[in-house]
């Protein structure tokens, strides 16, 4: 089911992402458009922090994300290069500061997390998935020399409702504070 006809009045699981800077977002979207199986490509490139928080916590989640965004400056991160996903390919990302924010959110919503969301994520942007091993290896070989490691900063959090296919955007929370995560 693609979810394109999903009833928007029904509660839906909540997805939280880390927002990429516009230049990296644009490049990742291009790569995803070029290499993700088109019949499954409903989404823009993204860095998922939580896959399925219960809709019952939406008001609290909005308040917590808004508070973190008010407190913190854009979060430093590092694009490490191409990441192997078995039958897929991703852009690997490191960010201890984003993982520290994830820890705070996971602690706050403890008891509401799915098994998938109970573990610290390996930060990445999936640009290819559910292809043959040969296709994945070929893309990794092709992109390896072209995806150069570099520093960047996450610009905030994204909140979405998962409706089976496309995600319904609910709100972005831009980092606009002065504090670093470890302050």
In this predicted model, what pLDDT tens digit does every residue of 122-131 receive, in sequence order?
999 999 999 9
Domains of the chain, each with CATH number or no CATH: 21-171 (3.90.1140.10)
> To the nearest whole percent, how much of the chain has pLDDT over 70?
92
Structure tokens that stand for 183 in this block: 């302050």
> What is the distance between the alpha carbons of residues 139 and 119, in angstroms, rounded to a whole number?
28
For residue 1, pLDDT over 50 is answered with: no
Residue 63 pLDDT grade (very low, low, confident, very high; cuts 50, 70, 90): very high
Whether the pTM exceeds 0.75: the reply is: yes
The CA–CA distances, whole Å, from 173 to 31, 136, 155, 170 equal 25, 34, 8, 10
Give the closest residue to 52 by CA, choosing from 136, 171, 161: 161
Helical spans, DSSP H, in 72-113: 96-108
126-174 pLDDT, tens digit each: 999 999 999 999 999 999 999 999 999 999 999 999 988 789 999 999 9
Give pairs for 80-86: CB < 8 Å, separation 24+. Answer: 80/149, 81/144, 81/147, 81/148, 81/149, 82/140, 82/143, 82/144, 82/147, 83/122, 83/124, 84/136, 84/140, 85/124, 85/126, 85/128, 85/129, 85/136, 86/133, 86/136
């Amino acid at each position: 089911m693609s979810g394109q006809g999903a009833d928007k009045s029904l509660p839906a699981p909540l997805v939280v992402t880390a927002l990429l800077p516009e230049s990296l977002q644009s490049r990742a979207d291009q790569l995803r458009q070029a290499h993700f199986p088109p019949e499954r490509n409903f989404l823009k490139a993204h860095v998922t922090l939580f896959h399925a928080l219960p809709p019952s916590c939406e008001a609290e989640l909005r308040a917590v994300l808004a508070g973190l965004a008010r407190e913190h400056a854009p979060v430093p991160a590092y694009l490490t290069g191409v990441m192997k996903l078995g039958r897929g390919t991703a852009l690997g990302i490191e960010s201890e500061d984003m993982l520290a924010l994830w820890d705070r959110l996971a602690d706050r919503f403890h008891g509401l997390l799915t098994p998938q969301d109970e573990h610290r994520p390996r930060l990445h942007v999936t640009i290819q998935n559910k292809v043959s091993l040969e296709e994945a290896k070929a893309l990794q070989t092709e992109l390896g020399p072209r995806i150069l490691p570099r520093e960047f900063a996450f610009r905030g959090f994204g909140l979405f409702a998962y409706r089976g296919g496309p995600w319904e955007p609910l709100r972005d929370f831009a980092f606009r504070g002065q504090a670093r995560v470890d302050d």
